[in-house]
Amino acid sequence: MSNKVSRRQFLSYTLMGVGGFMASGMLMPMVRFAIDPVLQQSGGGDFIPTSQKVDDLTEIPVRVDFTIKDRKDAWYYSDVSNTAWVYKNGDTIIALSPVCKHLGCTVNWGGDETHPDQFFCPCHAGRYMKNGDNVKGTPPTGPLDEYEVKVEGGLLYIGKTVSNTLV
Ligand code: FES
């Protein structure tokens, strides 16, 4: 039996090779475009400026709104509004996430008349202490997250959320 490659086989192998090379040349940019958001590095660690003057903060939590500009979500950019509950503990600035650890509703400071010195979640009557610790016996199973903070020019800057370090 001969191992010779016939002219027909040679031609067909060559066409398959060239065709495969050309197809991969066309497909690679498409695949790269499709998974581009996955390949992008996040800009973690950025601080967002707020209009809150640090000197105006007291030991009573206040709601501070801030906007994350041009937040990238896959292929889309949009401005995202966000909120923090901010107060001073001595000289330390504490900023807590308002997102309830039960099912994600928004908590309010002093929202429950019978517990005016706690955070209250109106969805299922969840409660948190001022440091974000969840009150046992209420639905939330963990403490509120904290935001990283910094001060620049007397104004409060808010960074990414981290696990609560106060409880
Ligand atoms: S979502 Fe907050 S208590 Fe249920």
CA of 125 to the centre of ligand 1 (A): 7
Does 122 contact ligand 1 (Cβ within 6 A)? Answer: no
Per-residue pLDDT of the chain (167 residues; tens, 9 = 90+): 567 888 888 899 999 999 999 998 888 888 877 776 666 655 445 899 999 999 999 999 999 999 988 777 777 888 889 999 999 999 999 999 999 999 999 999 999 999 999 999 999 999 999 999 999 999 999 999 999 999 999 999 999 999 999 99
Which residue among 105, 106, 108, 145 has the greatest number of ligand 1 atoms within 8 angstroms of its CB, and so is best to mutate?
Answer: 105
Annotated domain spans of the chain: 7-34, 48-162
**Dihedral through CA 133, CA 139, CA 141, CA 143, nearest 10?**
-20
Type of residue numbered 68:
I
Instruction: Give the containing element (helix H, strand E) for 33.
Output: helix 7-34
Give how far Cα 112 sits from Cα of 106, 127, 146, Å.
13, 9, 22
The sheet with strand 62-73 has its strands ordered as 48-53, 155-162, 146-152, 92-96, 76-89, 62-73
Phi, psi of 147, rounded to the nearest 5 degrees? -100, 145
* Fold adopted by 48-162: Rieske Iron-sulfur Protein (2.102.10)
Q: Which residue has the tokens 């309010």?
A: 108
